[in-house]
Amino acid sequence: MERIYFDYAATSPVHPEVIEIVYDAMKNHFGNASSIHYFGRDSRRIMDDAKKVFANSIGAKPNEIVLTSGGTESDNTAILETALTREKEGKHIITTVVEHHAVLKPMEYLESLGFDVTYLSVDEFGMINLKDLEESLREDTTLVSIMYGNNEVGTLSNVEAIGNIIQESLSTAYFHTDAVQAYGLERIDVKKDQIDLLSTSSHKIGGPKGIGFLYINESIHLPSFMLGGEQEMKRRAGTENIPALAGFQKAVEITQLTKESRKVEYNDFSTHLVKRLEESNVEFELNGHLDYRLMHIINIWFKGVSSEQLLLLLDLSGISISAGSACTAGNIDPSHVLMAMYGEKSQRVNESVRISFGIETTMESIDYLANELIRLIKKLKK
């Protein structure tokens, strides 16, 4: 049976060119980047070149890039180290109710330590009210963490406006954004948008798992989240993963060259899928913002159809989609994002699915998905 993958928001297959780079690095560039001999200098060169590429992709400087194991570590480092380092300046933090669990869990932990966390609500499109943010900022606010683009419904935050509001407030809060889903598709300029901390992950853009980076503005000094050696200018202990780093660099180079064309292509996929569903008279509505969104994610409410049943039947047909964040897909908890947008008792919470596109998605695969969705929904509603 041919299997078709529509869960790129969870993870992506490694790009063929990235695989070649990783293999070459594993075979030929095995030195420890902290060693002063030839092999160490060789790995250091690869690392320095990669950081230049990462920095250029977000309008930063190479010395502002800290390598991590991925989005979760980047989020945890930005949030926990900022809060604990600036505790004497204030214990108030602002975030939103629709953040990824890599942000929400650290917030819960900080609350257990006595920190005051404000969770901004969102409207039915998944967007915060900027006035709420403005009114929530206080002199003792040390951090604002708001995601760049939502991983479940794709809604984009008005990052530039958020950065301006924080800068113009009486607070000295750092602005952190989880850009794991947006990186590689959206234009990101950390200086223009006044972002202080930004999280990314390689495996969302066709790179290897287990590596990402955290941008830290050069004016900010955070202690290492990992304890051990003095790698990354004492900002992240641990021997750098050169093969994964080289692969991540290649994935970034590819996405930077193709992001605009891919956004157009992904929008065409969404438009075509919606058109096919409309023509079939299937009852559905889109969740999230229709225009201001990440183009590779579309979240659909199929009225009266259990998302769990639909996912299982689609899997039997060789189609892989999801009902929400990959980090919660293994349990039966309803989507906290959809509950925040539409209410805990809304049917959408248990009747919505997330479809996400990537490198192997074609219009033919979209047609196959549409055919199976229409067939199975009509079967389930008989």
Task: Let me know: does 232 contact 241? Beta carbons within 8 Å.
Answer: no
User: Quick one: 142 exposed, middle or buried, by C-beta within 10 A (0-12, 13-18, 19+)?
Assistant: buried
- Helix/strand/coil for 302: strand
Task: Let me know: does 288 contact 157? Beta carbons within 8 Å.
Answer: no
The secondary structure of 282-300 as a DSSP string is --EEEES-SSSB-TTEEEE
Residues comprising the chain, all counted: 382
Catalytically annotated residue among 327, 329, 374, 380? 327
Which of 111, 108, 117 has the alpha carbon at shortest distance from 141? 117
End-to-end Cα, the chain, rounded Å: 27
Cα separation, 10 vs 324, in Å, equals 9
Query: Could you tell me if residue 236 is left (phi over 0), alpha (psi between -120 and 50 degrees) or otherwise beta?
Result: beta
The secondary structure of 96-124 as a DSSP string is ETT--HHHHHHHHHHHHTT-EEEEE-B-T
Active site residue 327: yes
Which positions are annotated as active-site residues? 327
